[in-house]
Amino acid sequence: MVGKTTIARILACRLQYSCISTDDLGAAISAVTDSITQPAFHYMGSQDFREYYVTTSQVKLIRDLNGYHEAVWPALEKLIHNHLTWSTAAIFEGWALRPAYLAQLTGDLDGLFLLADDSLIEHRIRTCPFSQRASDEGTMIKNYLARSVWYNALLRDQIKTFGL
């Protein structure tokens, strides 16, 4: 909720690049798999996303996030490699792009990561209507916020570690 998609779309439009969303890729993979063949893409089960955040511990939220990112990375890596091979410019955006993954790649590419102060992340989460109709809105926000702040810190650490 720091503006990744918005900025990626604006840049892609101005530069006349393709814009590829990791969220869309994950949704496509989820649509053609099931929880037995690809459990990392179906970590919420049949739960409504709001109830997933209400009923899931922060430790499991982070474990599910890591599993999803690890599972989607091979597909993202292949797409990035294909764009580098075809010499077609693209902007890839989304929360599944980690600095540690991009640091493994070679070629004409670069990474831009948006980080925010924890207070901005909290403000955006608390003012976004996505938690409405959760059975326990406070718990949902608390768990979603804890996972988001953890992830922002992970990105910050990886950006520093890999010099991105």
The Cβ-side half-sphere exposure at 37, using a 13 Å CA radius, reads 6
d(CA 85, CA 66): 28
- From the list 141, 115, 118, 119, the residue with the least C-alpha distance to 128 is 141
Q: What is the pLDDT of residues 116-149, one digit of tens each?
A: 899 999 999 999 898 999 999 999 999 999 999 9
Helices (H) and strands (E) in the chain, counts: 7, 2
* pLDDT computed for residue 164 by the predictor: 83
Type and span of the H or E element at 28: helix 22-31
- From the list 152, 21, 28, the residue with the least C-alpha distance to 99 is 152
- From the list 157, 141, 153, 159, the residue with the least C-alpha distance to 58 is 141
Structure tokens at 79: 């797409």
pTM: 0.89
The DSSP code for 94 is: S
- What letter represents residue 120's amino acid? L
| Contact yes or no for 94/22 (Cβ under 8 A) | yes
Confidence class for position 9, pLDDT limits 50, 70, 90: very high
